[in-house]
Structure 1
């Protein structure tokens, strides 16, 4: 089995089995398009797409395999799970399908995520020797600059380092818009190193964030980033009450962690609450910076905002959320 990122897919063309995993629509589309085009050039002109859910008629898929075996046509089968997952019933069907594959059949499976149970299934083990797993998860804040740099190299473009930071700031979480603006910049400024000012005059704030990006920015004490995320959530008309509920859960977690530290080590308390390893440094720093009284004060402020908003829908809720964001980070 080989594991690669989507931007490496052109280096691993020709394998009979591909598993495209991830929820980024741009990367999914890119990986699928590259594979379908490549196999068409290799003579796999028959390309069958099946959208997989609990109502899928698998007999049609099995019949297609048997017909291919009979006529020896090179055929690509693409199984698109969309937002769905692989349950026990579908696992049984995939087990059967994996037994029917021949050298004339290429199998591509597109899936949001894969579980340990999936990896232990017969079909996965049967394909694993020749399987290429393509990661299509959206690059995070730390990964994005390198992704942009690689993409620019593929486009044979030169952009000032500070300008790359600017692109990442305004297009994080939105690779489709990011690649479109890069293409536009290439047309506007051909055969030259593109400057910070040139990019600044041609971009829009198109970053896409979730409430969990907001939480991580606040816990990490990244004031500028937390404020930027708040602005984008407001612009995208995210429901304020959901944000209040998300930050409430986070504050309760932090209070419980802080209480636990009175008798346990950081490792013990993080293990107990199943804090991911990569998030432990930022939680450690936050808990060292604030005492439990600060956390309760922020929680009380959140409660007051929620009560006020429920009694007065005209309340300037986004102003209140901005103030709460700063209080969470200890900024008065």
Structure 2
């Protein structure tokens, strides 16, 4: 069963499952999901908790000893296990062994990072899916953030006019931790309801935050203004131009490989499957290929190579100028004229 964080309260009304796997890259939602599960477990008599990090230094015998021991103070206990970015063979086998030893007085609370498609095909992930609910936690994207924000405001007894809601979502995009703190502060100010744009702009300092991976979807969609905004914010946050060169090169290479597959007579889905492209990303890549001919993809690669050369020459300003040009180049099929 797959549950999303907002579905947990309703799910828990029916009782606790023996195991939960909370995974993803959104710190606020992960923290709140874990807290909610811990709190519910305590209410049902799970008064003892053992926490372990499943890195290379973990002594798994300690985990098994904890799972099988009876405390003088509590008959029910939680084993909380935090997984690393990659799980080695030993950890995979021991995790599956632990899942097989579940019993009614033990709840396994497993937390993990964002997982790629290959990791979700691993034996340990399938074992977790069979053991209990999967709870993926991801940052709401720009389309869904206003709705999420409206629900969050409502929980704190607040409302916001539509333009105020969208401004708040814009001001804290990618930084839900800061947004949650700001909502708590707003709830203490007793401001007139619904909140207006003018009131929010007087009370709130924007704290948006982006990670490099959020740059790609707007580029593939042709939403260049948004992509350039993210690019400029990434520079302000200290992201290295060389990292973006590497990540963009990988995206462009994937587009070119898909293009070659199409030219060889494959359907898009055949070409995407051969490259192990996630099904959720296939529409974005297909749309980009419909907008960007091979000649434009080649020009973008040439410009990206120029950015990479500027990085190698320690010319940071020049590298960012080329990166900005690459972003603009995703707009349409027209070749760009770049001044020397």
TM above 0.5, yes or no, is yes
List structure 1 segments (4+ residues) > 4 angstroms apart after TM superposition: 69-72
Deviation at 1:230, TM superposition (A): 0.7
CA deviation profile, 1:224-262 (whole Å, cap 9, x unmatched): 210111111101111112212322333333334334434
CA deviation profile, 1:163-220 (whole Å, cap 9, x unmatched): 2222222322221012112222222344611112222334444333233321221221
Q: Which residue of 2 aligns with 1:207?
A: 208
Structure 1, unaligned runs of 5 or more:
none
1:106 has 2:103 as partner:
no
Farther off after superposition, 214-223 or 40-49: 40-49
**Contact 1:6-1:136 at 8 Å conserved across structures:** yes
Q: Which residue of 1 aligns with 2:10?
A: 11
Q: Counterparts of 2:102 and 2:217 in 1: how far apart (Å)?
A: 45
Choose which of 67, 73, 76 in structure 2 pairs with 1:74. 76
Change (3 A) 1:59 1:231: same
Q: Which residue of 1 aligns with 2:298?
A: 296
User: Equivalent residue of 1:173, what SS?
Assistant: coil
CA deviation profile, 1:118-160 (whole Å, cap 9, x unmatched): 2444x764xx3xx232222222333323322322232232112
User: Equivalent residue of 1:278, what SS?
Assistant: coil
RMSD over aligned Cα, in angstroms? 2.9
Deviation at 1:72, TM superposition (A): 6.6
Change (3 A) 1:168 1:62: same
Choose which of 13, 21, 24 in structure 1 pairs with 2:23. 21
**Contact 1:145-1:168 at 8 Å conserved across structures:** yes
* 1:8-157 matched pairs, under 5 angstroms: 8-13=7-12, 14-15=15-16, 16-68=18-70, 73-81=75-83, 83-112=84-113, 113=115, 115-116=120-121, 117-121=123-127, 125=130, 128=131, 131-157=132-158
Deviation at 1:69, TM superposition (A): 7.9
User: Equivalent residue of 2:133, what SS?
Assistant: strand
Structure 2, unaligned runs of 5 or more:
none
Farther off after superposition, 18-27 or 275-284: 275-284
Q: Which residue of 1 aligns with 2:256?
A: 255
Q: Counterparts of 1:71 and 1:58 in 2: how far apart (Å)?
A: 24
Q: Which residue of 2 aligns with 1:322?
A: 324
TM-score (norm 2): 0.82
Q: Which residue of 2 aligns with 1:158?
A: 159
Change (3 A) 1:298 1:63: closer
**Contact 1:85-1:111 at 8 Å conserved across structures:** no
Q: Which residue of 2 aligns with 1:182?
A: 183
CA deviation profile, 1:30-89 (whole Å, cap 9, x unmatched): 1121222222233322222222223222333333333318987222222222x3444432
Q: Counterparts of 1:73 and 1:168 in 2: how far apart (Å)?
A: 45
Q: Counterparts of 2:237 and 2:89 in 1: how far apart (Å)?
A: 37
Deviation at 1:315, TM superposition (A): 4.1
